[in-house]
């Protein structure tokens, strides 16, 4: 019964009781430089490519980092996690979804919450390096991709454990929560960023993507209905939300995975706390700190967050 009723996370100060303060500070004001990565352009099976940033040491342990929506391999949460695990002796691989990381991909396809084929190619890239233990950490959308990967694919035995942080396990619920109150600010920023990419794609493929329709977008619902869903083979926005929601694949997971979702996360709705599934599963652990915001979890007198420290402890616990 891997439902963790009592989290050890203690928020660092009274101001971090505010979900938006924690979230915005972690996203905009916290600074953490990326480690000295090597970047490789990895060719994909469909003729496209993605960029992977990595640091390899002489250890037989590696960790794969999966970034969130409109993020990239060098977001602050990824950087602090990468440096933390590097200091613990891990090689680190931080991959960029298509269109992310500063270079537009070749094909019309962008990325989405169910892009486990791309993640699988990253996993194979890492496994081919000869590591004996591989771990995975995903933030927000990257956490969704990670959970879907574990639930949809035959996982190599060298993948020992994973952690998903601030992860919307039910996409439709998360989408509705983001339309409420101050949360609309986050949604508006996502919409602006993705519209910019869609316009670039429309210039690349004018016969495939309707530029006029992009100009008419006013909500994120329209992004998913008219672009994300049809570009990636889904019948509609609702079809996309249901098919990529990890809520429907968690029961298939047989690799130990910890979900860390704070109860004050402004991106998550009630169905993003899969308590019943965790209670019945031998592999899916759920930890729900009272505070932490979205991809934040700051610690007092530490440049790291609770999330990466908890991930490391969870990984160690699975090898006992």
For 247, other C-beta atoms within 10 Å of its C-beta total 18
List the end-to-end C-alpha distance of the chain, in Å, as a whole number.
18
Q: Who's near 6: CB < 8 A, 6+ residues apart?
A: none
Between CA 151 and CA 304 the distance in angstroms is 29
> Would you place residue 209 in the very low, low, confident or very high pLDDT band (cuts 50, 70, 90)?
confident
DSSP state of 225: I
> Would you place residue 10 in the very low, low, confident or very high pLDDT band (cuts 50, 70, 90)?
confident
Between CA 196 and CA 94 the distance in angstroms is 24
Residue range 211-247, pLDDT digits in tens: 888 988 888 888 899 899 998 999 999 999 999 999 9
> Would you place residue 126 in the very low, low, confident or very high pLDDT band (cuts 50, 70, 90)?
very high
State percent of the chain over pLDDT 70. 99
Residue range 251-281, pLDDT digits in tens: 999 999 999 999 999 999 999 999 999 999 9
In the sheet with 38-43, reading across from the earlier edge strand, the strands are 3-4, 284-287, 257-260, 159-165, 133-139, 61-66, 91-95, 49-55, 38-43
Comparing 38-42, 140-144, 180-184, which segment has the lowest mean pLDDT?
180-184
State percent of the chain over pLDDT 90. 82
Q: At what angle do helices 141-152 and 116-127 cross, to 10 degrees?
A: 80
The residue-averaged pLDDT of 146-173 equals: 97
The residue-averaged pLDDT of 108-115 equals: 94
Q: Note the Cα 110 to chain centre separation in Å.
A: 15
Distance set, CA 259 to CA 48, 194, 250, 310 (Å): 31, 27, 11, 11
Q: Are 66 and 95 in contact (CB under 8 A)?
A: yes
The pLDDT of residue 146 is above 80: yes
DSSP state of 262: -
Q: Which two tokens stand for residue 9?
A: 């996370």
Averaged confidence pLDDT in the chain:
94
Q: Which two tokens stand for residue 72?
A: 């990239």
- The reported pTM is 0.95
Query: Residue 6, exposed/middle/buried by CB under 10 A (0-12, 13-18, 19+)?
Result: exposed
| Long-range CB contact pairs, 99-102, < 8 A, 24+ | 99/197, 100/67, 100/70, 100/71, 100/72, 100/73, 101/50, 101/51, 101/53, 101/72, 101/73, 101/74, 102/51, 102/72
């Amino acid at each position: 019964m891997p439902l963790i009723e009592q989290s050890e996370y203690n928020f660092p100060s009274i101001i971090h009781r505010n979900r938006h303060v924690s979230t915005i500070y972690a996203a905009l004001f916290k600074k953490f430089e990326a480690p000295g990565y090597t970047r490789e352009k990895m060719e994909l099976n469909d003729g496209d490519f993605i960029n992977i940033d990595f640091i390899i040491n002489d250890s037989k342990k590696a960790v794969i980092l999966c970034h969130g929506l409109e993020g990239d391999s060098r977001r602050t949460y990824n950087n602090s996690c990468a440096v933390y695990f590097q200091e613990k002796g891990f090689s680190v691989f931080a991959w960029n979804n298509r269109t992310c990381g500063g270079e537009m991909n070749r094909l019309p396809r962008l990325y989405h919450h169910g892009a486990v084929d791309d993640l699988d190619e990253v996993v194979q890239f890492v496994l081919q390096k000869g590591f004996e233990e591989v771990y995975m950490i995903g933030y927000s959308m990257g956490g969704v991709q990670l959970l879907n990967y574990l639930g949809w694919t035959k996982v190599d035995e060298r993948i020992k454990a994973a952690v998903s942080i601030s992860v919307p396990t039910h996409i439709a619920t998360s989408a509705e929560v983001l339309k409420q109150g101050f949360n609309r600010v986050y949604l508006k920023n996502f919409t602006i960023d993705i519209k910019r990419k869609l316009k670039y794609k429309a210039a690349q493929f004018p016969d495939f993507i309707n530029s006029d329709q992009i100009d008419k977008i006013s909500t994120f619902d329209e992004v998913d209905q008219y672009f994300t869903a049809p570009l990636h083979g889904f019948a509609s926005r609702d079809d996309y939300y249901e098919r990529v929601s990890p809520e429907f694949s968690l029961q298939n997971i047989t690799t130990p995975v910890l979900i860390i979702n704070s109860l004050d996360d402004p991106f998550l709705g009630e169905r993003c706390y899969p308590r019943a599934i965790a209670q019945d599963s031998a592999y899916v652990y759920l930890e729900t700190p009272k505070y932490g915001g979205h991809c934040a979890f700051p610690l007092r007198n530490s440049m790291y967050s609770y999330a990466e420290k908890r991930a490391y402890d969870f990984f160690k616990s699975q090898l006992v």
